[in-house]
Chain A
Amino acid sequence: MQHYNMNLTLKVWRQKDKNAAGGFETYQVKDISSEMSFLEMFDVLNERLIVEGKEPIAFDHDCREGICGMCSMVIDGRPHGPWEANTTCQLHMRAYKDGDTIVVEPWRANAFPVVKDLVVDRGSFDRIIQAGGFVSVNTGNAVDGNAIPIEKDNADAAFAAAACIGCGACVAACKNSSAMLFVSAKVSHLALLPQGEPERRQRVVNMIAQMDKEGFGSCTNTYSCEAECPKEISVTNIARLNREYLQASLK
């Protein structure tokens, strides 16, 4: 892999707080190494802004290894940038070449209000989980782990759905700002396991009701969510969610 340096033009969304009107600001960044991560490029820019006496750009990030789900930038129209199955923190600058212009925006959805600049409030996801994304088992209630054999295929499918990191890229990617992929991942995870069975019906009904209450749009099956999901959560989970919901509604 040949390493190289590049100069870039960044157009970044700046917004003081939730209620302020935001707008784009343009920044030139120089001598960016192709080995840097996208967020490290932002670190470099922020360090310069601070030294120049300007306000650094606020953005969410934490683990920087693609698992916590905190980072959230829409980069040239793509949540988490151009690479597939990737989070912003794992996007590296070799994806770009000298002279490129990159437009960076926050997740945009009314259910994800902007906190500042590129930081948004994803509390709506927590509230959806509160509505039913759990198994009601108090500490100490459990039977032996091997007392519940689970077919391997189901366990694997449940795991694939549970791999969701709750980053919200599905919402950001959807033209309708729908949270169906997120909700379906949790409903699928628990519906595929016997542990989730007793609360199966009320779970899906309550989670959907909370999702609607939060102001997310509806799913029209364009599948942008699946294409942008860093953990490659499948839209077959959405079909399963729909099935679960219909069945629960008919009971």
Chain B
Amino acid sequence: MLDAKIPSGSLESKWTDYKGHVRLVNPANKRKIEVIIVGTGLAGASAAASLGELGYKVKAFCFQDSPRRAHSIAAQGGINASKNYQNDGDSVFRLFYDTIKGGDYRAREANVHRLAEVSGAIIDQCVAQGVPFAREYGGLLSNRSFGGTQVQRTFYAAGQTGQQLLIGAYQALERQVALGNVTMHTRHEMLDVVMIDGKARGIIARDLVSGKLERHFGHAVLLCTGGYGNVFYLSTNAMGSNVTAAWKAHKKGAYFSNPCFTQIHPTCIPVSGDHQSKLTLMSESLRNDGRIWVPKKQHDDRKANEIPEEERDYYLERRYPAFGNLVPRDVASRAAKERCDAGYGVGSSKQAVYLDYSDAIERYGKAEVNKRNLGNISHDEIMKLGKDVVKEKYGNLFDMYEKITGENPYEVPMRIYPAVHYTMGGLWVNYELQTTIPGLYALGECNFSDHGANRLGASALMQGLADGYFVIPYTVGNYLADEISTGSVPTSHPAFEETEKAVADRINTLKSINGKQTVESFHKRLGKIMWDKCGMARSEEGLKQAIQQIRDLKKEFWSDVRIPGSIDEFNPELDKAGRVADFIELGELMCIDALDRNESCGGHFREEYQTPDGEALRDDANYMYVSAWQYSKEHEWTLHKESLDYEVVKPSQRSYK
């Protein structure tokens, strides 16, 4: 039975009580304790900085050339915090409640409440670091509304909030590097966890420049390695984002939770051809003013501007009159897919819908006319005024769209299509963020804990920083307090030797296959299986086919992959091969998990489980649990369930009609 170690007491007092009673490590002992942190995005960099400040000896690893490159940097919209600076009724409870509800009642109450509790301190910490959040003329912090909540609680720095927060954490991390508290290993990839007496005691990492394997000891290992969206090949993740570290931990005994919960973001730039290597997200805020439509006629080849108003189907407004274009991400994504599948898609690929700003431009133009008392002016002039307003609000997004597509979104409607964006699933962790392996922790997107089946906008940054700055410094101490006497285990220990040998063997095997097909081609094929059968809509039949196809793909991969170059050099193809091999295994587990969950909730939509009008049908009686998969052997997992007992929130069906 999984014990999440949730403190007793009322929801509001759990974290305070925990902090008050948690065991501590005294400063002199901290200096003797080594902590390994893998990944240096928001969660990893903030954890490394904070633990370094406390006096632990931290070793941090990232596969990029600098911690500042982590993909947290690409988050555009903002970060939520229940500061209630706007006096609009926000509170810790409301942020907690919105997150639980947004997650379609598949998240753990205690963790989410803690997240909401520390959200304010995150903003304070970032401001103190010099993060240049947007401000009002009075000099105070500015907020905007985001993703269907009814309060303004999102803090932002133009469209580059993730970048500014990451740079803040990165600078704090580099400060600790300068002070000697953190040793930074860039261009290093973790390839396995070293286990001694059932506890995580270190890692095997590969220096990606020299290709050499290295042994690193740690009293605890923190995985802050992000999500696994790249299992779909095409996603908004960075090219290097991967599941390898989490997957190795999983195979060593860490349970993997809710792997099928993936978030498909509705406003991405569509695929332009087979060459496509990644997808680009455009902030959700675009849906505040844009109207989404497709032609009413199937296979309509006319240009957007040639289709008259009465022949356009504003399908979100039609289906969801109450929320219209502002329905949550999962709902908007599925509706777009439904239209495209039914033959109403637009663009050369027919896998896109229009996001039209002409109404907004006209509306803003008329508002300007009134504001400036311009009287009777021509329609063209009104549109010009409107374009200026839209440019001010969304200029950088429009520019980005034009750069990628070569089309001017002020003149023709943008084409958008959903894309994989975030993975709510991840390593199972208890309240202390510890996985089922003692001494092994998972932070940020790498764990499963806070977003349930669907994440709300501007909450990913909040969770990464909450885990790194304000949760792990307390919870890891509770474990390390017992480890003071352990001392440092020399890396000549047999466990290190064996693990390193296993890693080396696997690399040698991969390299020696010397087949005909490239790593990339396998990755693309995996992605297609996943997208078609475990993407926006899943079915029992499709998932069963997918599992078989993935197993076949795995066999083919291990007998026919070709990796150029050698092992002892900088070899990105070799790095990628190891990651794709892990993605293939993960893909199978995702399908198994999706198959197990006979309900539709959040980002998981099973075609068999929908209401007569096509909405997701949740099954709280049978599936109100977190799935936690234990790896047994190839193709075999054991399912453990952590049941979700809602003490405070009453689950209800989400409706946006």
Residues of A with Cβ closer than 8 Å to B?
1, 16-17, 33-37, 39-41, 43-44, 47, 49-51, 53-56, 58, 60-70, 83, 86, 90, 92, 94, 115-116, 119, 121-123, 125-126, 129-131, 133-146, 148-152, 155-156, 158-159, 162-163, 165-166, 189-190, 193, 195-196
Contacts and interface: CB of A to CB of B under 8 A. Distances in A.
B174 A139 contact: no
- Interface of chain A, helix or strand or loop or mixed? loop
B65 interface: yes
B171 A145 contact: no
Contacts of B68: 68-69, 126, 166
B407 interface: yes
A139 B470 contact: yes
Contacts of A61: 239
Contacts of A131: 178
B518 A51 contact: yes
B280 A65 contact: yes
A118 B125 CA distance: 38
A55 B564 contact: yes
B362 to A, nearest CB: 24
B65 A1 contact: no
Given A67-B74, A116-B570, A145 B564 contact: no
Interface stretch (B271-279, B315-323, B335-343): B271-279
A189 B157 contact: no
Contacts of B49: 139
A13 to B, nearest CB: 15
Contact of A145 (B53, B65, B124): B124
Given A58-B572, A67-B73, A148-B127, A33 B132 contact: no
A169 B434 CA distance: 41
B520 A150 contact: no
16 contacts: A40-B276, A41-B275, A43-B275, A50-B564, A65-B281, A65-B400, A68-B68, A68-B70, A69-B69, A90-B403, A115-B209, A133-B174, A140-B121, A152-B136, A162-B130, A162-B157
Interface string B279-290: 011000000000
A145 B403 CA distance: 36
Given A162-B164, A165-B163, 10 more contacts: A56-B564, A56-B572, A65-B400, A68-B73, A94-B406, A115-B570, A116-B570, A126-B174, A135-B130, A150-B135
Which 8 A-B residue pairings sit nearest by Cβ, starting from the closest?
A149-B139, A142-B128, A134-B171, A159-B132, A1-B406, A142-B124, A130-B178, A145-B127
A36 B186 CA distance: 30
Given A17-B569, A54-B564, A55-B564, A193 B132 contact: yes
Contacts of B403: 83, 86, 90, 92
B124 A144 contact: yes
Nearest to A83: B403
B518 A60 contact: no
A158 B131 CA distance: 9
A138 B73 CA distance: 22
B64 interface: yes
A155 B135 contact: yes
Nearest to A210: B178
A116 B574 CA distance: 15
Contacts of A66: 400
A43 B576 CA distance: 13
Contacts of B516: 51
> Which of B49, B65, B133, B565 has most A Cβ within 10 Å?
B65
Given A58-B572, A129-B171, A142-B124, A134 B74 contact: no
Interface hub of A51, A62, A121, A156 (most chain B Cβ within 10 A): A62
Contact of B132 (A60, A67, A133, A155): A155
A1 B411 CA distance: 12
B73 to A, nearest CB: 5
B71 A68 contact: yes
B592 to A, nearest CB: 30
A224 to B, nearest CB: 22
A188 B622 CA distance: 57
Contacts of B470: 139
A139 B469 contact: yes
Interface in B89-130: 121, 123-130
Which of A1, A140, A193 is the most central at the interface, judged by chain B CB atoms within 10 Å of its CB? Answer: A140
Interface in B173-191: 174-175, 177-178, 184, 186
A195 B127 contact: yes
B27 to A, nearest CB: 13
Contacts of B238: 62-64, 68
A196 to B, nearest CB: 6
B135 A152 contact: yes
Contacts of A63: 69, 71, 73-74, 238-239
A16 B469 CA distance: 41
B66 A125 contact: yes
B16 interface: no
